[in-house]
Amino acid sequence: MLHIYCPHCEEYREEEEFRPKGEAHIARPKAPEETDDAAWGDYLFFRKNPRGVHHEQWLHAAGCRKFFNVTRHTVSYEILETYKVGQQPTARTTDKGGAK
Protein backbone atom coordinates (compact mmCIF):
# COMPACT_ATOMS: atom_id res chain seq x y z
CA MET A 1 0.00 0.00 0.00
CA LEU A 2 1.19 3.49 -0.85
CA HIS A 3 1.26 6.27 1.70
CA ILE A 4 0.58 9.53 -0.12
CA TYR A 5 1.39 12.99 1.20
CA CYS A 6 -1.49 15.45 0.80
CA PRO A 7 -0.04 18.96 0.39
CA HIS A 8 -3.32 20.47 1.68
CA CYS A 9 -3.71 18.34 4.83
CA GLU A 10 0.09 18.28 5.24
CA GLU A 11 0.18 14.63 6.27
CA TYR A 12 0.66 11.14 4.82
CA ARG A 13 -2.50 9.08 4.33
CA GLU A 14 -3.24 5.61 2.92
CA GLU A 15 -3.79 5.38 -0.83
CA GLU A 16 -7.40 4.21 -0.36
CA GLU A 17 -8.32 7.81 0.52
CA PHE A 18 -7.20 9.09 -2.90
CA ARG A 19 -8.43 8.85 -6.49
CA PRO A 20 -6.22 9.37 -9.55
CA LYS A 21 -7.79 11.79 -12.03
CA GLY A 22 -5.47 11.69 -15.02
CA GLU A 23 -2.64 13.68 -16.49
CA ALA A 24 -1.71 16.99 -14.84
CA HIS A 25 -0.82 20.31 -16.51
CA ILE A 26 -3.22 20.09 -19.44
CA ALA A 27 -3.92 23.59 -20.74
CA ARG A 28 -7.43 24.43 -21.98
CA PRO A 29 -7.43 26.10 -25.41
CA LYS A 30 -7.10 29.89 -24.99
CA ALA A 31 -9.70 30.73 -27.66
CA PRO A 32 -12.35 27.97 -27.49
CA GLU A 33 -14.55 29.60 -30.12
CA GLU A 34 -11.65 29.51 -32.61
CA THR A 35 -10.58 25.93 -31.83
CA ASP A 36 -11.34 23.37 -34.51
CA ASP A 37 -12.83 19.93 -33.81
CA ALA A 38 -9.50 18.11 -34.15
CA ALA A 39 -7.85 20.36 -31.54
CA TRP A 40 -10.84 19.92 -29.18
CA GLY A 41 -10.60 16.16 -29.65
CA ASP A 42 -6.90 16.25 -28.77
CA TYR A 43 -7.61 18.38 -25.67
CA LEU A 44 -10.49 16.21 -24.44
CA PHE A 45 -9.36 12.68 -25.21
CA PHE A 46 -5.66 12.27 -25.89
CA ARG A 47 -3.25 11.86 -22.99
CA LYS A 48 0.34 10.76 -22.57
CA ASN A 49 0.79 7.25 -21.23
CA PRO A 50 4.52 7.13 -20.54
CA ARG A 51 6.58 4.36 -19.10
CA GLY A 52 8.51 6.27 -16.46
CA VAL A 53 8.08 9.57 -14.63
CA HIS A 54 4.67 11.20 -15.15
CA HIS A 55 2.75 14.14 -13.63
CA GLU A 56 -0.78 13.23 -12.54
CA GLN A 57 -3.71 14.96 -10.87
CA TRP A 58 -5.18 13.26 -7.79
CA LEU A 59 -8.14 13.92 -5.49
CA HIS A 60 -8.06 13.42 -1.72
CA ALA A 61 -11.56 11.92 -1.87
CA ALA A 62 -11.87 10.67 1.72
CA GLY A 63 -10.04 13.63 3.24
CA CYS A 64 -10.01 17.32 2.39
CA ARG A 65 -11.61 16.64 -1.06
CA LYS A 66 -9.05 18.88 -2.80
CA PHE A 67 -7.12 18.21 -5.98
CA PHE A 68 -3.33 18.14 -6.07
CA ASN A 69 -0.60 16.89 -8.39
CA VAL A 70 1.67 13.88 -8.02
CA THR A 71 4.89 13.09 -9.84
CA ARG A 72 5.00 9.30 -10.00
CA HIS A 73 7.05 6.64 -11.76
CA THR A 74 4.51 4.54 -13.67
CA VAL A 75 6.59 1.34 -13.54
CA SER A 76 7.76 1.29 -9.92
CA TYR A 77 4.80 3.33 -8.53
CA GLU A 78 7.34 5.42 -6.62
CA ILE A 79 5.95 8.86 -5.77
CA LEU A 80 8.66 11.45 -6.27
CA GLU A 81 6.67 14.48 -5.05
CA THR A 82 3.24 15.93 -4.43
CA TYR A 83 2.36 19.60 -4.91
CA LYS A 84 -0.69 21.86 -5.09
CA VAL A 85 -2.47 22.58 -8.36
CA GLY A 86 -1.01 25.76 -9.86
CA GLN A 87 2.50 24.99 -8.64
CA GLN A 88 5.20 23.57 -10.89
CA PRO A 89 6.90 20.22 -10.30
CA THR A 90 10.54 19.99 -9.31
CA ALA A 91 10.96 16.42 -10.60
CA ARG A 92 11.44 16.24 -14.36
CA THR A 93 10.23 13.87 -17.03
CA THR A 94 11.96 12.94 -20.25
CA ASP A 95 10.53 12.44 -23.74
CA LYS A 96 11.45 8.76 -23.60
CA GLY A 97 9.62 8.33 -20.27
CA GLY A 98 12.66 7.60 -18.10
CA ALA A 99 13.64 9.34 -14.89
CA LYS A 100 16.20 12.14 -15.00
- In tens, the pLDDT along 13-46 reads 999 999 999 999 999 999 999 999 999 999 999 9
Range of the domain at 26: 3-84
Task: Classify residue 91: in a domain, yes or no.
Answer: no
pLDDT in tens, 71-88: 999 999 999 999 999 999
* Dist. CA 97–CA 53, nearest whole Å: 6
Task: Classify residue 35: in a domain, yes or no.
Answer: yes
* Cβ atoms < 10 Å from Cβ of 88: 8
Task: Classify residue 94: in a domain, yes or no.
Answer: no
Phi (first) and psi of residue 69, to 5 degrees? -110, 150
Q: How confident is the model at residue 100 (pLDDT cuts 50, 70, 90)?
A: very low
* Dist. CA 3–CA 73, nearest whole Å: 15
Task: Classify residue 96: in a domain, yes or no.
Answer: no
Best CA proximity match to 24, nearest among 80, 86, 81: 86
Question: How many distinct structural domains can be found in the chain?
Answer: 1
Domain CATH code at residue 48: 3.30.2270.10
Task: Classify residue 98: in a domain, yes or no.
Answer: no
